Structure 1
Amino acid sequence: MNTIREKRKLAVCASADLDDQQHRIVPLLFKGEPHTAILLRHEGQVYAYLNQCVHMVRRLDCMHDAIFDEGRERLRCSMHGIVYDPTTGESLSVLCAGEKLEALRSTELDGQVYITDKRVKRST
């Protein structure tokens, strides 16, 4: 029997399929609107963010499929080069200093990676 909490889990991938400095782009509904999320692993931890730059309303991967900078240490918007700390979502660029990507709750459970944010639903 599924509980309400179990129904909120949006399965993304197997834990073993998400290595450090790798990511997945996940289509979803955020507050009822179509969006994508970025789910990534950095230094062993899993993080999820709404795939939307704080500088302009554009996906971080709008120009290129990559979301990490060349050193694979920071997230980077492919349009204007705004960089973010992958562990906090905070902008490290002077232009958007102090602003943060919209964090989404995520977890690893029983060898699977999930987005568990209550504002998120599977896109149809």
Structure 2
Amino acid sequence: MQKHFLCGYEDLNEGDSKGFSLGDKSAGMNNVFAVKKDGEVYAYKNVCPHRGINLEWQPDQFLDSEKALIQCASHGALFEIRTGECIAGPCAGDALTPVPVEYAQDGLYVLLAD
């Protein structure tokens, strides 16, 4: 597992989402996004399980209008923030791939497979 700095605590506000490109471009980018809900940070690979594409059309726009669920901008599938489980749409029953989050003094890190 490789540890990647994601952001400082102040860079991700409650109820917001943010996308990140991590890793060496020559080795392939690792696109992830994070959501802060109820003081916890949840991170997932930025890949729709139905289409294999990024979830957002606009930078950092991963949530529905109520900021209650993660939404795929391509076909509207809805995912639980805490579990990544798809609860509506063509990939119902599938789930986003979670990425472990580590809290440190200087901010948030994610752990990605080598």
Q: Do these two structures clear the TM 0.5 threshold for a shared fold by scoring above it?
A: yes
The aligned residue for residue 108 of structure 1 is 103
The aligned residue for residue 37 of structure 2 is 42
- Unpaired segments of 5 or more residues in structure 2? none
Q: How many equivalent residue pairs?
A: 111
User: Aligned-residue CA RMSD in angstroms?
Assistant: 2.0
Query: What TM-score, normalized to structure 2?
Result: 0.86
Hey, what's the Cα distance between the residues in 1 that align with 2:4 and 2:53? 23
Of 13, 20, 24, which residue of structure 2 is paired with 1:26?
A: 20
Misfit runs of 4+, over 3 Å: none
Give the Å deviation of 1:88: 0.4
Larger Rg: 1
Matched-pair contact (CA < 8 Å) for 2:75–2:89? no
Deviates more, 1:99-108 or 1:34-43: 34-43
- Unpaired segments of 5 or more residues in structure 1? none
Report the residue type matching 1:22 in the other structure: D
Please give the per-residue CA displacement for 1:13-33, whole angstroms capped at 9, x wherever unaligned.
11122111222211125xx54
Of 55, 62, 87, which residue of structure 2 is paired with 1:60?
A: 55
The aligned residue for residue 16 of structure 1 is 10
